[in-house]
Amino acid sequence: MLAIAIIPTLNPSEKILEVVNGLITHGFKLIIIVNDGSKPEKQYIFDKLNQYQEVEIVTHNINKGKGAALRTAFQYVLSNHPSFDGVVTLDDDGQHKIEDVIACAEALKENKNSLIMGCRNFKAKETPFKNRLGNKITVFVFGLAYGVRISDTQTGLRAIPTQHLSIYLNVPGDRFEYESNMLVEAKNNSINFVEVPIQTIYLEKNKASHFNPIVDSWRIYKQIFTFFFSSVAAFVVDITLFGVLSKTLQIESTLRLVFFATIGARVVSSLFNFLMNRYVVFKRKNSLGKAIVRYYTLAVFQALVSFGLVSLCTIFMSKELLVVWKVIVDLGLFIISYRIQNRWVFQKKAAAKMTKKSTIMTVVFDGLKLFGVTLLLILVLFFGSTTIVSYGPSSAARDLFVLTVMETSAAKFLARIYFSNEQIKTIIKLNSAHDTGEVSNGDDIVIPKDSDTFDIKAITVENITGATFIGKLMIVNDPSRLFVATLPEFSQNGRGKLLSTLVSENNAIAGINGGAFSDIAGVGKGGMPLGVVIQNGKIRVNLASEYSTLIGFDFNNRLVVGKMTAQEAIAKGMKEAVSFGPALIINGNRVPITGSGGGLNPRTAIGQRADGAVLLLVIAGRQATSLGASYADIADIMVEHGAVNAANLDGGGSTLLIYNGEMMNPVALVNGPREIPTAFLVRK
């Protein structure tokens, strides 16, 4: 028999002696055993093996892994026994029957240019569940990613023609992943696979296996994982840009619109994908120029196919679902595309062995690469989802997105990516509280005296919940305890103070954030209020601002809300006030709100009941458990709790309620509460 048996082994049992005896008995003239760094106490087994004339032993001083052992054996054969027709690799524990080994060796005679695979029957009852499941997953992934159709991808029983051994010398992977990578390399070199059915044997449920389910599975799938990360990331980039271009290009013809949107999106996404696949996924060092030419040849062809198919969809179906048709078409095309990239675009260059980095450095670099790919994927998924929301079929979802980000100083740019300033203004106008021009007069407010039925000193806190939010509502029975706290001096470049600091410095028991302040790009220092600030009946700030609604208390401790100038407020007897808005309830009448007024955001609001009790409301937002509330949500809460006047205060990242030294709501910002210039506090 002109086939060599190769047995990689680590700390073998005496079962290997039975395997070798069986091979020799059935005609094998040469058996190469690779001692992959076995323990010294196993040396006696190798001494016995060395007594066989047919056995040659190659030794690794340290354990390098099964993949490294197979490469060593292949190189040994090419250097010392090139006249043999081929080799048969098998395990050392008797799980491969000698007759199956012979069947694979015999298959080489009729399939001299193929990779012979001894395939187990995973439907057999004796197959452990983890082996059955692992094989199904690997078969599916390899079939999808590489077009490799093999029923047993992890079999160690393989027959390989000698003429193909050099192909596998540069296959990456030192451990169990090497055998998976061999299949990909065979596919890339157009080597056929021939399956030979073999018996399914698991000795003691495969306890002797050196396979680590977590570590070795990661090694096997690492390239495939990064391959699909790159694929999905490029796909999302392409879809995102296609969605943006299809909505922004002023082209009436559907066919021309699809064409130019496809080309524009593909130029960017293809460059992204080319770089990712070359340097992160395949790590190929073939000619850059040749790879670029091949890649863009494929990209142009794929773009034309995508254009044709999407155009057909839009001709016979709805143009409004243009992005949906694009998604469906490209889901099929990108799998085919990446198979071609793996086998042709990034065709592996035969080169000298690369210098192996230390294990620690390899882990670090792999981790950084994976982190980078994951971060990039998160970004493209985020922008992909916002594109779908912005240009999707739901106008309500679009409006909610725009309104939400436009109330977030640092995120306003997101709306401006997709919409013009005029479009944004229109959306805000159609989803807002309507200015009635009315100002609360306080006629409905009658503050009772302290009695057995009304405790004027009482302060209570309630939990508030809604479909998209959680929050806290503080009820202060005595409105005379409310006042506006400010900074000694205001400055555009100066810093504000934390609400906790304002509460402490003013000897207060509670407080919420107050009015608007300068916050350019969401990085304002909180040292400059916007609009009007009145304190102790005196005007502290009076600046022209979009925030023209004043919110505060007069000298009769009645909450006054409405659009007015600083002088008009003083004339109405306002003692304390800040600017923000909109007003939500005026003189017992709810201010009309249309659409998704204000979007979903962290909210702060203040209201007053007919008995004078002040309602201080905070709503958490931008969190998994509380996305935030709209103006309508806040108005609903105020109405339910009897408010006759109420208004929205500055919210977002500054939304906070402090009571008895504790923060009553989770802050929306990772780095904690913001510095602010004004606050409504409650005296002790």
Position 576 scores a pLDDT of: 96
Position 131 scores a pLDDT of: 64
Spatial separation of the C-alpha atoms in residues 6 and 21, rounded to whole Å:
14
Contact in structure between 200 and 126 (CB atoms under 8 Å): yes
Position 366 scores a pLDDT of: 42
User: Mind giving me the DSSP string for 199-267?
Assistant: ----GGGGTT----TTHHHHHHHHHHHHHHHHHHHHHHHHHHHHHHHHHHS----HHHHHHHHHHHHHH
The residues of the chain scoring below 50 in pLDDT are: 205-216, 316-318, 350-360, 362-363, 366-367, 369-371, 373-374
Contact in structure between 621 and 470 (CB atoms under 8 Å): no
Position 357 scores a pLDDT of: 41
Contact in structure between 657 and 664 (CB atoms under 8 Å): yes
Position 363 scores a pLDDT of: 41
> For residue 302, what are the CA distances in angstroms to 188, 210, 238, 415?
21, 44, 13, 32
Position 307 scores a pLDDT of: 75
Q: Which residue has the tokens 């990242």?
A: 653
Position 171 scores a pLDDT of: 84
The angle that helices 322-340 and 215-248 make with each other, rounded to 10 degrees, is 140
Three-state DSSP at 333 gives: helix
Spatial separation of the C-alpha atoms in residues 222 and 226, rounded to whole Å:
6
**Tokens matching residue 246:** 């299809």
Q: Look up the pTM and report it.
A: 0.51
Q: Which residue has the tokens 């958490």?
A: 620
Q: Which residues pair with 192 in a beta bridge?
A: 114
Position 513 scores a pLDDT of: 95
Question: Residue 211 — φ and ψ, nearest 5°?
Answer: -75, 125
Position 537 scores a pLDDT of: 94
Please count the CA atoms within 13 angstroms of the CA of 597 that sit on its side-chain side. Answer: 20
**Tokens matching residue 653:** 């990242």
Position 25 scores a pLDDT of: 92
Q: Comparing C-alpha atoms, which of 237, 640, 611, 236 is closest to residue 456?
A: 611
Spatial separation of the C-alpha atoms in residues 458 and 446, rounded to whole Å:
17
Instruction: Summarize pLDDT for 329-362 with one digit per residue, the tens.
Output: 777 676 677 667 766 777 665 433 333 344 445 4
DSSP at 54: T
CB count in 10 Å sphere of residue 130: 12
**Tokens matching residue 498:** 């934390």
Position 660 scores a pLDDT of: 94
End-to-end Cα separation, the chain, in angstroms: 99
Position 227 scores a pLDDT of: 66
Position 158 scores a pLDDT of: 94
List the Cα angle 613/503/572 in 5-degree steps: 50
Spatial separation of the C-alpha atoms in residues 442 and 588, rounded to whole Å:
10
Q: Which residues pair with 195 in a beta bridge?
A: 117
Instruction: Summarize pLDDT for 419-452 with one digit per residue, the tens.
Output: 888 988 888 888 878 877 899 988 889 988 888 7
Q: Which residues pair with 679 in a beta bridge?
A: 485, 513
Helices (H), 249-358: 254-276, 288-316, 322-340
